Amino acid sequence: MNDRERHDRHGRRRTSTLGLIAAGVMAVAGIATAAPATASPSTQASTLGAQAAQSGRYFGTAVAAGRLGDSTYSTILDREFNMVTPENEMKWDTTERSRGSFNFGPADQIANRATSRGQRLRGHTLVWHSQLPSWVSSIGDANTLRSVMNNHINSVMGHYKGKIYAWDVVNEAFADGGSGQHRSSVFQNLLGDGFIEEAFRTARSADPAAKLCYNDYNIENWNDAKTQGVYRMVRDFKARGVPIDCVGLQSHFGTGGPPASFQTTLSSFAALGVDVQITELDIAQAPTTAYTNTVKACMNVPRCTGITVWGIRDTDSWRSGDKPLLFDGNGNKKAAYNATLTALGGTPAARSTTPPAASGPSGLR
């Protein structure tokens, strides 16, 4: 997705004891439960990840290795989130910058830190036309590209084998607009429509323990041709036994938040027999209603297994000017944070009555 596509898109839209045990059992079994009408106080947590876990879900964030030394950033990361997606460090331009030469250092820094803190990992992403080194995008021979793609998948998934909850195996392969077809890319142009199936089959063999996801943006509105194109692909894959376990809906929204059909989209994909995951959530200006609507849509679909926001503080965001996240630039909780926690069934902490230190930032952390 290039900046123009992203910004064009934004312009347009721009928990009682038995219950806890049941939620716990469901969580272990990987089954989320629908949102309880009103969570009893004993099941209400005061952080995003802990509260999501009450219904067998996760609440995660994208993480940048370069920000882990920032104590405000890492304190929030460890307190609030139980799922971590490396924002850029597992992408092809970092992991295999030149053919056959792998660099897992930046992603290992994120992965090892997360694992040591009991946070699970999403792998992002194996096959994507963007952040792709030119030695790949310049390949002109189908057999060479097929070998390179499968070797990349096997090498990267092999390095993280058994450590990744879900991989975005293929990212953003469908075209924007009304075609419902695949976008042009070196993979599509040389290997044809079948490259997605081949990537998923290779991925299943590389790490059978990982959930395999197709991830994309602008597939949140049920009526959009792109959504329907992805739906037809997933339905076909499930009918033919092509290994796929989930659909990642990136959910980069404008100020209006999710489309009215968002829950229909989530439940329709889930009805095909896959999980749905909100994988890159951010909402321009972070309206509380928009975040509430997004979270409630997920909570109302049992196979919506978790939500990942695409960054921690507004200043960490790829779209920082939109102030789209749950924490402000000083790491203070925004109103959207409290709305999100409440929609998950939790109880926002009482507002701090301690006057901020003379020189320090005011507000909550």
User: How many H-runs (helices) and E-runs (strands) does the chain carry?
Assistant: 14, 9
Q: Which is nearer to ligand G3I, 74 or 267 (CB)?
A: 74
Cβ 272 to ligand G3I, closest distance in Å?
Answer: 22
Cβ 268 to ligand G3I, closest distance in Å?
Answer: 22
Q: Which is nearer to ligand G3I, 8 or 236 (CB)?
A: 8
Distance between CA atoms of residues 307 and 323, nearest Å: 19
* Binds ligand G3I by CB under 6 A, chosen from 15, 44, 59, 87: 87
Active site residue 280: yes
Cβ 130 to ligand G3I, closest distance in Å?
Answer: 5
Q: Which is nearer to ligand G3I, 191 or 219 (CB)?
A: 219
Q: Tell me if 130 contacts ligand G3I by CB under 6 A.
A: yes
| Pattern 182-211, ligand G3I, x by CB under 6 A | ------------------------------
| Pattern 263-282, ligand G3I, x by CB under 6 A | -----------------x--
CB 84 within 8 A of CB 60: yes
Residues contacting 128, CB < 8 A, separation 6+: 91, 92, 170, 171, 172
Q: What's the half-sphere exposure (Cβ side, CA atoms, 13 Å) at 190?
A: 18
Q: Which residue is nearest to ligand G3I (CB)?
A: 318
Residue 207 CA to chain centroid, in angstroms? 19
CA angle at 48 for the pair 43 and 50, rounded to the nearest 5°: 45
CB 331 within 8 A of CB 284: no
What is the per-residue burial (b if ≥16 Cβ within 10 Å, else e) of 39-78? beeebbbebbbbbbbbbbbbbbbbbbbebeebebbbebbb
**Residue appearing with tokens 């299943």:** 204
Of 147-186, binders to ligand G3I (CB under 6 A) are 171
Q: Which one is catalytic: 80, 96, 198, 280?
A: 280
Cβ 89 to ligand G3I, closest distance in Å?
Answer: 9
Distance between CA atoms of residues 79 and 30, nearest Å: 22
Q: Which is nearer to ligand G3I, 82 or 171 (CB)?
A: 171
Q: Which is nearer to ligand G3I, 171 or 221 (CB)?
A: 171
Q: Which is nearer to ligand G3I, 130 or 315 (CB)?
A: 130
Cβ 100 to ligand G3I, closest distance in Å?
Answer: 21
Of 298-317, binders to ligand G3I (CB under 6 A) are none
Distance between CA atoms of residues 29 and 56, nearest Å: 9
Reading the block at residue 189, the tokens are 């142009």
* Binds ligand G3I by CB under 6 A, chosen from 95, 221, 250, 340: 250
Neighbours of 309 (CB within 10 A): 30
- How far apart, in Å, are the Cα atoms of 104 and each of 108, 131, 161? 6, 16, 13
Of 36-65, binders to ligand G3I (CB under 6 A) are none
What are the strands, taking DSSP E only, across the chain?
58-63, 83-86, 120-127, 166-171, 211-216, 246-249, 252-253, 275-283, 304-309
Q: Tell me if 1 contacts ligand G3I by CB under 6 A.
A: yes
* Binds ligand G3I by CB under 6 A, chosen from 40, 42, 98, 131: 131
Q: Tell me if 104 contacts ligand G3I by CB under 6 A.
A: no
CB 307 within 8 A of CB 57: yes
Cβ 91 to ligand G3I, closest distance in Å?
Answer: 7
* Binds ligand G3I by CB under 6 A, chosen from 155, 318, 364, 365: 318
Binding region for ligand G3I (CB under 6 A): 1, 6, 87-88, 130-131, 171, 217, 250, 280, 318
Instruction: Please give the positions annotated as active site.
Output: 280
